[in-house]
Structure 1
Amino acid sequence: MRRRTFLSTLPAGAVIAGATAAVGQGATVAASPSRTPAQAAPSAYPYRGVGMGDRIMGAPFAGRSTVWGARGAVATAHPTATLIGLDTLRRGGSAIDAAIAVNAALGFLEPVANGIGGDAFGLMWDPKQRKVVGFNGSGASPRGLSLEAARGRANARGYLPSYGAVTVNVPGTIDAWWQAHQRHGKLPWKDVFAPVIELCERGEVMPQLIAFYLERNMAGFDRSAAIIEDNDNRKRVYAPDGRTPRVGEVFANPDLARTYRLIAEGGRDAFYEGPIAEAIEGYFRRIGGWMTRADLAAHRTEWVEPLTSNYRGVDVWQLGPNTQGLSTLQILNVCERFDLKGLGFQSAASIHVQAEAKRLAFEDRARWFADPAFSRTPVERLISKDYAAERAALIRMDRVMERAMPGDAPTQGDTTYFSVADADGMMVSWIQSNYRGMGSGLVPDDGNGGTLGFMFQDRGELFALTDGHPNVYAPGKRPFHTIIPGLATRDGEPWMAFGVMGGGMQPQGQAQIVINMVDYGLDPQEAGDAPRWQHEGSSEPTGEPAEGTGVLHLESGVPEATKEQLRALGWTLGPPNGGFGGYQNVMRQVNERGPWTYGAASEVRKDGLALAY
């Protein structure tokens, strides 16, 4: 997604907060949804120029310490989800049991970022096989939706719209849960869901950031109501009595509890072939969409061989296309050609190299990445060290490349990422999303006068409509996907399960985490709390071309001297824009004394929490 499109979807408060942070040097505090316009206005902002408090040790920009434990660890974007995951481990569940419980809980607790109407991807260290394994839980487009019909729904710019039935693909999450549980679950399937069903029924208190985005996303749907076939059901679920829940208020979703109960009792078949599938087909028939029960029944999660590349002694693992995981490895391969440690932490030279590496990787992403069942990506060439050397040679240290091109051989999203590890040594890196702004805007009926309590994804927006493009829309095809889990090993042993949420931010964010830890010696929490950069304006897999050299956004914590030097190199700098992602990490540490332990970290930019025991 282009920056102008992203900013148009951001709440006004977020833009104001970003502009305020650019003026002052302190942390940005977003306006609460319950504040009046006068209270949210920049002239009334009471925190200008105020930075963080001082810590007695560790990096001064770290907001808290890494959490340590010996038996298990969970890091998620919501404290209650973390507690449910930890309780699942304590009840004898595996890391996969805990991951499923966490994901189900987040579908209720954090509907702005994920839900069972979306797709899921995972990487895990399997201690029994002593290897990294991965799955691709993305769904395909409806077989009854033709390219011609999809083009008929294109927007004025010639791309698929952000919302509505034309963007809905088969949700892959439930089958991903089922397949992972069949292989690695310990607790009975039904028992995994019990605490989450109870949670949905009794409700939970709404935290700050989720309340903020829920209100703004619903307002965004209202502005786009003309292209959304049904606008009533989402309001019934997420804005009862005419408004979204405010910070500190209790929010419940009994409709989702009923859906979870059907899944708990009937397994994945309840969703893809049983009563839920029947309700979904009836809903799309009613609103004029294309999803059918046959589309759902045909879906299967794909277990895949992950890609890997070594970065200064660390093996970094990613999933291949149709995801953008290869981009993380390409960025790191290019950066490895430079002495980032010698260039200096948060220096202009270091950020310059990293951002240029991103630009080069993203041109390959736009050119090649697509569903491998329809188009072959030259992975071996793109991931090779020889290719990285050729690409690195294009980077000049005295100025920005005028134009980055793909080699020979949109994308802001709302996503949740979490990490889980158990006492047996299994480590899980899991990411799940509905994509942009909660999803398509469509919440299905249940066939009995209620709803199913979840929203369908809008991943189909990421298809191209250009003939000959690898990612061009086709019936039964999976679109290019932004969501990617990350995992790293050292000397054949697991090191960390980590990820950074946020559309096109994910590969550049993951690379920054690895660089912060490997090159600059930061611990998991410090690596996530460090100021980030984000480059926007590269070519996209939808066929959208690059916008010159793009815009390099920097968080307010980046030193002013660094910003001035980057401008001198020719970078167009943008203010903090709220798009720097959300991060979780569980790291395994081998100790000189005693057994290995886990260190867990959570994102300072989110409502989340990391716990270990």
Structure 2
Amino acid sequence: MKRDFEAPGRSPVYAREAAVATSHPLATSAALEVLHAGGNAVDAAIAASVVHAVVEPQMTGIGGDCFAIVTEADGRMAGFNGSGGAPKALSQELLAEKGIDELTPTSPHSVTVPGAIRAWETLLKAHGTRDFKTLFKRAIEYAEEGFPVAPRVQQDWRESADRLNTTPATKATYMPGGQVPDVGQIVKFPRLANTLRAIAEGGADAFYTGPVADDIVSTLEGLGGVMTREDLAACHTTAVAPVMRDYRGYTIAELPPNGQGVIALVILGLLERFDMASLDPLGPDRMHLEMEASRIAYAVRDKFVTDPGYMDICHANLISEDYLDQLASMIDPNKKLDDLPGTSLAPQTDTIYLTVVDKDGLSVSFINSIFNPFGSGILAAESGVLLHNRGAVFHAKPGHANSIAGGKRPMHTIIPAMGLKDGAPWLSFGVMGGHYQACGHAHLISNIVDYGMDVQMAIDFPRMFFDMNTHALEAEKLIPQSTLSGLMEKGHEVHRATAAIGGSQAIMIDKANKVLIAGSDPRKDGHAAGY
């Protein structure tokens, strides 16, 4: 497919030396600054992520989790799981004693140990060339001297205003003058700046021990939480081997559980059993197959995927050919499958995803999140650390793969990914949007592989997902009404989505022409750039 230059849109960015794609221009600029100064892709990704933690506070922060895939030019690949576990003292029995049968998004019990800072430090030690002091420079400047609120950030901020009343400290920090900031208004986070400066000087231990850790623990204790200083001090990042599966000649790499990356591979494995390229990419037949494959795959996720120490099945079994054949036999190209098990998970949420490829071919696929917009809404007032609520995906009662247990890592929606061609890096990519991400990975790859779209077109292309409770389909407004009517004829309930579905960044590595091709999602304030 080729771009229509008379229609709204933009071309992908072509660069020879290095490329960056993030969801915020200030983060992209910070990454480019590091690259121009001689830093590598990992250095640039950390610099971008810490800027995001300041300028996109509704999406990410140092009080959240992080996952990354780092790939060398020769295809050697390393995965990093920077997610924290539930407090050791938290259990189903304790919650039952407190009369809690559901972990609400603003509950102190929804706050798991934030793993991001430890993950950043681990990444730098393994693959970086710079230190926190160098890489935190721009973020500290924006937190201390202020940054202008971008349009999409302001929209999210406004729509999340209720969450900002969770604690007086949260309201005072994120509702200056009692109101959501306007687009272009300069906002400052001086206490966060002080904490970033302390981490820049003292490393991750300045977050997980000492005054910052004390502030986090005392804040949660004051709300009835049970996180301890020992829980924070024990935080570690796990090195993991990516799980891989081919899709029509391309190898797609995802991180293993506790993330949902393997579910993207399940969806692709199901779609590969159909002649997707023969279908109209915006037509009802393509969308039906994609949604049916996704609904089945997410039912698999909810049955099996959690902290791998608690899984009843090896994740590799979920992408075995026999199992995929079994799942694919459930798909009728002409009719919706009605007997899928229901779910009880929250609707779509958001995060930040970024990717960097440097002049030496080092590729970083990187994602950082506080889960729901503004996370738990709980701000540790003295340190300025906004705490995520990843534990809200836990079940408070037994009988589920993702039932809560002390020290257990929750099922994670955030998933970086990497594509290989003939064993060499081909596409560093990710999709934002909470639960949508596994479906979004499959949609993006199918757009490129089955329909020949460039990275920007594949990112821009209209999306569908399904309501996690009712399984009604939700369609972005650029999907034709004729497609919605065709889906209804196949038995689907279909609605227009109330907002854009997720976001995305990607960088394609064109070895033949020795160029990088980058794209960033217009659904965000994002920016792709290179040189």
**TM-score band w.r.t. shorter chain:** over 0.9
1:425 to 361, 369, 394: 361
1:476-555 aligned at under 5 Å gives the runs: 476-537=407-468, 547=470, 550-555=471-476
Q: Does 1:144 align with 2:78?
A: no
CA contact (8 A) 1:153 1:166 kept: no
Q: Secondary structure at the match of 1:610?
A: strand
Q: Does 1:263 align with 2:199?
A: yes
Q: Secondary structure at the match of 1:414?
A: coil
Cα shift at 1:390: 1.8
Letter of the 1:67 counterpart: V
Cα shift at 1:244: 2.2
Letter of the 1:97 counterpart: D
Aligned to 2:110: 167
Query: Residues of 2 paired with 1:554 and 1:110: CA distance?
Result: 26
Q: Does 1:438 align with 2:438?
A: no
Aligned to 2:60: 114
Aligned to 2:215: 279
Q: Secondary structure at the match of 2:506?
A: strand
Q: Secondary structure at the match of 2:207?
A: helix
CA contact (8 A) 1:505 1:579 kept: no
1:335-414 aligned at under 5 Å gives the runs: 335-404=271-340, 410-414=346-350
| Structure 1 length-normalised TM | 0.83
After alignment, is 325-334 or 189-198 more displaced?
Answer: 189-198
The CA deviation string for residues 130-171 of structure 1, in whole angstroms up to 9 with x for no partner, is 31211110001111223223345676xx42111121110100
Cα shift at 1:275: 2.8
Q: 1:85 to 1:344 in 2, by over 3 A?
A: same
Query: Residues of 2 paired with 1:57 and 1:368: CA distance?
Result: 41
Q: Does 1:216 align with 2:159?
A: yes
Q: Does 1:603 align with 2:521?
A: yes
Q: Does 1:73 align with 2:73?
A: no
Aligned to 2:491: 570
Q: Secondary structure at the match of 2:160?
A: helix
Q: 1:284 to 1:394 in 2, by over 3 A?
A: closer
Q: 1:153 to 1:237 in 2, by over 3 A?
A: farther
Query: Residues of 2 paired with 1:66 and 1:242: CA distance?
Result: 40
Query: Residues of 1 paired with 2:3 and 2:302: CA distance?
Result: 43
Cα shift at 1:321: 1.1
CA contact (8 A) 2:302 2:401 kept: no
Aligned to 1:580: 501
Q: Secondary structure at the match of 1:435?
A: coil
Query: Residues of 2 paired with 1:152 and 1:218: CA distance?
Result: 32
Q: 1:502 to 1:61 in 2, by over 3 A?
A: farther
Q: Secondary structure at the match of 1:475?
A: coil
Cα shift at 1:184: 1.0
Query: Residues of 2 paired with 1:221 and 1:588: CA distance?
Result: 41
Aligned to 1:612: 530
Q: Secondary structure at the match of 1:370?
A: coil
1:187 to 89, 107, 130: 130
Cα shift at 1:414: 2.2
After alignment, is 286-295 or 322-331 more displaced?
Answer: 286-295
The CA deviation string for residues 392-440 of structure 1, in whole angstroms up to 9 with x for no partner, is 121112211111259xxx2422211111111110111111111112111
Cα shift at 1:126: 2.2
Cα shift at 1:484: 0.7
Cα shift at 1:387: 1.6
Aligned to 1:90: 36
Cα shift at 1:60: 6.8
Q: 1:579 to 1:65 in 2, by over 3 A?
A: closer
Aligned to 1:334: 270
Q: Secondary structure at the match of 2:21?
A: strand
Q: 1:604 to 1:244 in 2, by over 3 A?
A: same
Cα shift at 1:296: 0.6
CA contact (8 A) 1:153 1:161 kept: no
Cα shift at 1:464: 1.2
Query: Residues of 2 paired with 1:610 and 1:391: CA distance?
Result: 38
Letter of the 2:333 counterpart: M
Q: Secondary structure at the match of 1:437?
A: coil
Q: Secondary structure at the match of 2:9?
A: coil
CA contact (8 A) 1:113 1:414 kept: yes
Letter of the 2:135 counterpart: V
The CA deviation string for residues 338-388 of structure 1, in whole angstroms up to 9 with x for no partner, is 000112221211111111000110111010011112334332221112221
Q: Secondary structure at the match of 1:198?
A: helix
1:454 to 373, 385, 398: 385
Q: Does 1:238 align with 2:159?
A: no
2:48 to 102, 107, 114: 102
Query: Residues of 1 paired with 2:83 and 2:505: CA distance?
Result: 22
After alignment, is 316-325 or 328-337 more displaced?
Answer: 316-325
The CA deviation string for residues 280-331 of structure 1, in whole angstroms up to 9 with x for no partner, is 2233333432121100111100010111100000101111111111110000
Q: Does 1:64 align with 2:10?
A: yes
The CA deviation string for residues 44-89 of structure 1, in whole angstroms up to 9 with x for no partner, is xxxxxxxxxxx99548766100001111111111111110111111
Structure 2, unmatched stretches of 5+, are none
Cα shift at 1:465: 2.4
Count of residues paired in the alignment: 528
Q: Secondary structure at the match of 2:80?
A: strand
Q: Alignment identity in percent?
A: 38
Query: Residues of 1 paired with 2:163 and 2:380: CA distance?
Result: 19
1:590 to 488, 503, 511: 511
Query: Residues of 2 paired with 1:486 and 1:59: CA distance?
Result: 30
CA contact (8 A) 1:531 1:557 kept: yes
Query: Residues of 2 paired with 1:66 and 1:506: CA distance?
Result: 22
Aligned to 2:482: 561
CA contact (8 A) 1:201 1:254 kept: yes
Letter of the 2:88 counterpart: R
- Aligned-residue Cα RMSD (Å) equals 1.8
CA contact (8 A) 1:414 1:438 kept: no
1:324 to 256, 260, 267: 260
CA contact (8 A) 1:412 1:579 kept: no
Query: Residues of 1 paired with 2:356 and 2:110: CA distance?
Result: 31
1:309 to 223, 239, 245: 245
CA contact (8 A) 2:75 2:420 kept: no
Structure 1, unmatched stretches of 5+, are 1-54, 226-230, 447-451, 538-545
Query: Residues of 2 paired with 1:159 and 1:429: CA distance?
Result: 33
Query: Residues of 2 paired with 1:59 and 1:509: CA distance?
Result: 25
